[in-house]
């Protein structure tokens, strides 16, 4: 009995050390981290934009939390004539490791724990004091004067119109799966679309900003029989106060370039 207790204690200590190392290593790399007595894991995310130029060529732009650049309805650093976004995809690369868990349902296929992943989108719209077309032309005029896309974007949005309030959780996608091993990796894909403008917005809305956030929950049953769970922090949800930890996408209209 003593040996068994000693062995369990050693395992618990090793798990604690491993989970601490894993957790802080993940945080250092900018990943969302999962940590509890029975679960450790990381979530790495990326946003993929498919853009088509005026010649029909399709490219994919990748945005991650450490590389938040403009995109544009056309993307802002990609603001050439005729370029437009044709697809928005967010991926979550989820690595989880369960510790001291029992099979959730021994009568069926092995199932150690269940994972629920969610990506939510929050947005706001920028409205011109005059027209969206005038805002767009001012944007390109600033670039011709030598400003960068970011400087031109900042100038126009600050001087020629105003931002509406954030619409939190404008859209959300979820995906669930079960793990048949204690260490499990899965990549989940979530597709989003740019919302259509209302008839009252078509002439005045020139820019939009999106926040993409995520949350991953893991739950299972400990060897002792009690339910256990863990999840990423709410700091990774798509809320304005979490902007430093999630993906931000900025888009502008360019259909009047000529």
Q: Model confidence over 20-41: pLDDT tens digits?
A: 444 444 444 447 788 888 898 9
Cα–Cα distance measured from residue 136 to residue 155, given in angstroms and rounded to the nearest whole number: 12
Tens of pLDDT, residues 82-141: 667 778 899 999 999 998 898 877 777 789 999 999 999 999 999 999 999 999 999 989
CA distances to 9, 98, 105, 171 from 108, rounded to whole Å, are: 31, 19, 6, 35
Sorted by sequence, the CB contacts under 8 Å of residue 26 that are 6+ apart come out as 32, 33, 42
Contact (Cβ atoms closer than 8 angstroms) between residue 47 and residue 89: yes
* Per-domain residue ranges of the chain: 2-252
Nearest-10 Cα torsion for 130, 135, 138, 140? -160
> Are β-strands 161-163 and 205-222 bridged in parallel, bridged antiparallel, or unpaired?
unpaired
Mean pLDDT of the chain: 81
Q: Is 134 exposed, middle or buried (0-12, 13-18, 19+ CB in 10 A)?
A: middle
Q: What is the pTM of this model?
A: 0.81
Nearest to 192 by CA among 116, 122, 93: 122
Cα–Cα distance measured from residue 233 to residue 220, given in angstroms and rounded to the nearest whole number: 18
Cα–Cα distance measured from residue 246 to residue 70, given in angstroms and rounded to the nearest whole number: 14
Nearest to 208 by CA among 168, 239, 243, 250: 250
CA distances to 32, 145, 182, 216 from 223, rounded to whole Å, are: 27, 67, 13, 23
Give residue 9's pLDDT.
Answer: 38
């Amino acid at each position: 009995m003593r040996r068994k207790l000693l062995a369990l204690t050693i395992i618990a200590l090793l798990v604690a050390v491993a989970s601490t190392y894993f957790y802080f290593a993940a945080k250092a790399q900018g990943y969302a981290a999962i940590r509890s007595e029975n679960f450790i894991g990381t979530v790495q995310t990326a946003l993929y934009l498919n853009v088509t130029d005026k010649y029909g060529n399709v490219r994919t732009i990748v945005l991650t939390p450490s590389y938040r650049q403009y995109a544009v309805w056309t993307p802002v650093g990609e603001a050439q004539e005729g370029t437009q976004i044709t697809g928005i995809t967010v991926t979550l690369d989820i690595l989880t490791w369960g510790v001291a868990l029992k099979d959730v349902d021994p009568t069926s296929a092995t199932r150690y724990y269940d994972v629920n992943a969610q990506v939510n989108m929050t947005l706001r719209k920028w409205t011109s004091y005059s027209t969206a077309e005038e805002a767009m032309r001012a944007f390109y005029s600033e670039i011709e004067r030598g400003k960068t896309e970011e400087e031109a974007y900042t100038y126009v949005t600050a001087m020629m119109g105003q931002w509406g309030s954030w619409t939190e959780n404008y859209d959300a996608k979820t995906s669930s799966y079960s793990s048949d091993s204690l260490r499990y990796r899965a990549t989940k894909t979530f597709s989003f679309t740019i919302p259509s403008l209302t008839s009252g917005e078509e002439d005045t809305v020139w820019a939009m900003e999106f926040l993409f956030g995520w949350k991953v929950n893991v739950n299972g049953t400990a060897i002792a029989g009690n339910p256990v769970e863990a999840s990423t922090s709410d700091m990774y949800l798509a809320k304005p106060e979490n902007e430093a930890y999630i993906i931000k996408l900025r888009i502008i209209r360019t259909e009047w370039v000529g």
